[in-house]
Structure 1
Amino acid sequence: MRASRLLSLLLLLQNRGRMSATQLAAELDVSARTVYRDVEALASAGIPIYAEPGPSGGYQLMDGYRTRLTGLTAAEAGSLFLTGLPQPAAELGLGAHLAAAELKLTAAFPTPYREASTRIRQRFHLDTPGWYREPDAVPHLLALADALWQDQAVEVRYRRWSPRPGEVVRRLHPLGLILKAGVWYLIAGGYDQPRTYRVAGIIDLRPLPEHFTRPHGFDLAAFWQAHVQRYEQADTGQVMTVRLTPDGVTALRDVLGPRAARLALRALAPAGPDGWHQAAIPLENVTQAAAMLLRLGADVQVLAPAELVAHLTATIRAMSRLYPA
């Protein structure tokens, strides 16, 4: 562990130039006292590192010095597909590996490429979750990822909303994890064909002693693309039937997003005598749909399915008790 930290400290100074003990401590997630000891260890090992005193001072390497100790570990190499996604990397337990891998790659670049990568990092940032949303609580994501790496079967207790709401127990063969708009999904076999599960819906997870062989030719990206197309076209799965005021119709794009709003508006019924429109909207799960529809307030009325109507009714009644007339 300390050897890895010493190398990270050395690469930080090589890639970024002069850094204070406080800055190094923040990057390495250690105390400043630990940084002092690590710097002494590097100097004792013959690394030309020295301290520059003063308010703008810090530690730096002698001009022209470069280390070639930049080999990636297996975990660091495996984390590279999450470059630019620090939050998902941290959720998968790969945050430290990703940071170390990026340092080693940057150190291995020729100076012009290293400067270009720094410019890109300063100018572009990818933020996956949608607006006004907190990431799902995914306490079983790490265990699920571990089983996925090892092709190990798991038993899960899962909260589903369709076709019948309730909790079910499933023995699954994890085939892939998908991060979509800040939400984690599991693609798993174990039945006639792979299915999709929302990771936040997993209540309990137990790794099983058995291992499985991945289906020959299974393409995770192609499977997910087909799933997304089916969902967005509402050819399969559940839909919710709603009535909307003209203001509710106008707000659909902000609430659903452009593509889902286009699907809903495509099947929008003409306004009735009261000015309201009826629409069918794809339904992923009851909790998510209820939270979304509550943003429309009194500009929407849900007609079906019954479990969504019941969920909204209970939520609105609970809210009304908080605001008595």
Structure 2
Amino acid sequence: MRASRLVALVLLLQNRGRMTARQLAEELEVSVRTVYRDVEALAAAGVPLYRDAGHAGGYRLVGGYRTRLTGLTVDEAQAAFLAALPGAAAELGLGEALATAQLKLRAALPAELREHAGRIQERFLLDAPGWYGEADRTPHLAAVAAAVWERRAVVLQYRRWRAPEEIERRVEPYGLVLKAGRWYLVATGPSGVRTYRVDQIVGLRELAEEFAVPAGFDLGTYWTGYLADFRARLHTGEALVRLTPEGARRLGVAPGGDGRTEARVPIESIDHAHGEFLRLGADVEVLEPAELRDRIAATVRTLAARYPG
């Protein structure tokens, strides 16, 4: 623990220049006395630290003491800082490791790249979860991640929407995917490679058995195919609608020349389309299917009776 703190102290000075003992103590979450001891240890180890005397003084590294990463372009340095998701790292138990890694990367970058990376963090923030609803509870995420990393089989107790609602299954975990704030486990089991929502795992038992991922398997390729198949299964029907220019804009349909646009759009189900089209209000008129048109008409009549003019 102390060794990593000593490294962090040196990296802080590389990144920020002169810092007082109190500033260092606050950053490292230790006492000022501990900082004094750490500075003495670094000096004894040959790290060229210099202390400026006086009220505004502090510690700094003698000029030229810096490690550098070579071969990084400006875009690569920006991407390294932009790609990090602190929330996801924290869920996996890697929050502190991520912060230390970014600190090391920033310290090792040449000055011009360090400046660009700093701008990225100042101006962009990645917040993966959606707006509505509380974050999923994933008490077994760390154990799942460990099994993925160690390539060990596990027995899952899993809750699903169809009967039987709770199942127990031995799987070999290939990888984890974070999609729109929700974690998914990609694993192979009795039925082949499947995707499991981590928040629906109600129990997990790690086995001693190790496994090898098939040579041809690629997590990114699998996930792209899974999403395409999911969308194909999701939109099993279509509706013919007439849209105002605003309705066309909101549905992402190219507007017609006369101000009203007829278009066929994919729908998941009558129930789902009923709610989605009602959100567009007077900007959409459903022409087909008749069942959907009748459902919306009945809802509009009910609302008109409830809110008489």
The answer to whether TM tops 0.5 is yes
2:273 paired with 1:249: no
Q: Is the CA contact (8 Å cut-off) linking 1:83 and 1:98 kept in structure 2?
A: no
Map of 1:219 onto structure 2: 218
Q: Is the CA contact (8 Å cut-off) linking 2:20 and 2:57 kept in structure 1?
A: yes
Map of 1:103 onto structure 2: 103
Mapped to 2, the partners of 1:157 and 1:94 lie a distance apart of 25
Per-residue deviation at 1:92? 1.4
User: Could you tell me which amino acid in structure 1 is paired with residue 145 of structure 2?
Assistant: A
Q: What does the per-residue CA deviation read over 1:76-113, in whole Å, with 9 as the maximum and x for residues that have no partner?
A: xxxx7995211111221222222222222222222211
Mapped to 2, the partners of 1:164 and 1:82 lie a distance apart of 42
Q: What does the per-residue CA deviation read over 1:234-285, in whole Å, with 9 as the maximum and x for residues that have no partner?
A: 359996835847984339xxxxxxxxxxxxxx989225474438xxxxxxxx
Per-residue deviation at 1:215? 2.2
Mapped to 1, the partners of 2:114 and 2:185 lie a distance apart of 36
Q: Is the CA contact (8 Å cut-off) linking 2:157 and 2:168 kept in structure 1?
A: yes
Map of 1:303 onto structure 2: none
Map of 2:39 onto structure 1: 39
Map of 1:3 onto structure 2: 3
SS in 2 for 1:13: helix
Map of 2:203 onto structure 1: 204
Per-residue deviation at 1:208? 0.5
Residues 57 and 232 of structure 1: CA distance in aligned 2, closer, same or farther (over 3 Å): farther
SS in 2 for 1:144: helix
User: Could you tell me which amino acid in structure 1 is paired with residue 121 of structure 2?
Assistant: R
Mapped to 2, the partners of 1:240 and 1:176 lie a distance apart of 35
Mapped to 1, the partners of 2:104 and 2:60 lie a distance apart of 17
**How well do the aligned residues superpose, as a CA RMSD in angstroms?**
3.6
SS in 2 for 1:241: helix
Q: Is the CA contact (8 Å cut-off) linking 1:158 and 1:202 kept in structure 2?
A: yes
Map of 1:319 onto structure 2: none
Structure with max Cα Rg: 2
Q: What does the per-residue CA deviation read over 1:117-168, in whole Å, with 9 as the maximum and x for residues that have no partner?
A: 112221222111111443322111111111111211001111111x326211
SS in 2 for 1:227: helix
Residues 217 and 128 of structure 1: CA distance in aligned 2, closer, same or farther (over 3 Å): same
- Larger mean Cα displacement after TM superposition, 171-180 or 92-101: 92-101
Map of 2:187 onto structure 1: 188
2:150 paired with 1:150: yes
Q: Is the CA contact (8 Å cut-off) linking 1:177 and 1:185 kept in structure 2?
A: yes
Q: Is the CA contact (8 Å cut-off) linking 2:93 and 2:142 kept in structure 1?
A: yes
- In the alignment, structure 2 segments of 5+ residues that lack a partner are 71-79, 237-267, 282-287, 304-309
- Larger mean Cα displacement after TM superposition, 129-138 or 60-69: 60-69
Q: Is the CA contact (8 Å cut-off) linking 1:152 and 1:209 kept in structure 2?
A: yes
Q: What does the per-residue CA deviation read over 1:188-228, in whole Å, with 9 as the maximum and x for residues that have no partner?
A: 10123211111011111110111122123112112111222
Residues 54 and 138 of structure 1: CA distance in aligned 2, closer, same or farther (over 3 Å): farther
User: Could you tell me which amino acid in structure 1 is paired with residue 61 of structure 2?
Assistant: L
SS in 1 for 2:37: helix
Mapped to 1, the partners of 2:15 and 2:37 lie a distance apart of 21
Map of 2:176 onto structure 1: 177
SS in 1 for 2:117: helix
Q: Is the CA contact (8 Å cut-off) linking 1:244 and 1:276 kept in structure 2?
A: no
- Larger mean Cα displacement after TM superposition, 7-16 or 55-64: 55-64
Q: Is the CA contact (8 Å cut-off) linking 2:66 and 2:108 kept in structure 1?
A: no
SS in 2 for 1:269: helix
Residues 154 and 273 of structure 1: CA distance in aligned 2, closer, same or farther (over 3 Å): closer
Mapped to 1, the partners of 2:147 and 2:168 lie a distance apart of 17
Mapped to 2, the partners of 1:186 and 1:199 lie a distance apart of 6
Q: Is the CA contact (8 Å cut-off) linking 1:152 and 1:212 kept in structure 2?
A: yes
Map of 1:124 onto structure 2: 124
Mapped to 2, the partners of 1:97 and 1:119 lie a distance apart of 22
Q: Give the total of aligned pairs.
A: 256
Q: Is the CA contact (8 Å cut-off) linking 1:156 and 1:172 kept in structure 2?
A: yes
Map of 2:293 onto structure 1: 270
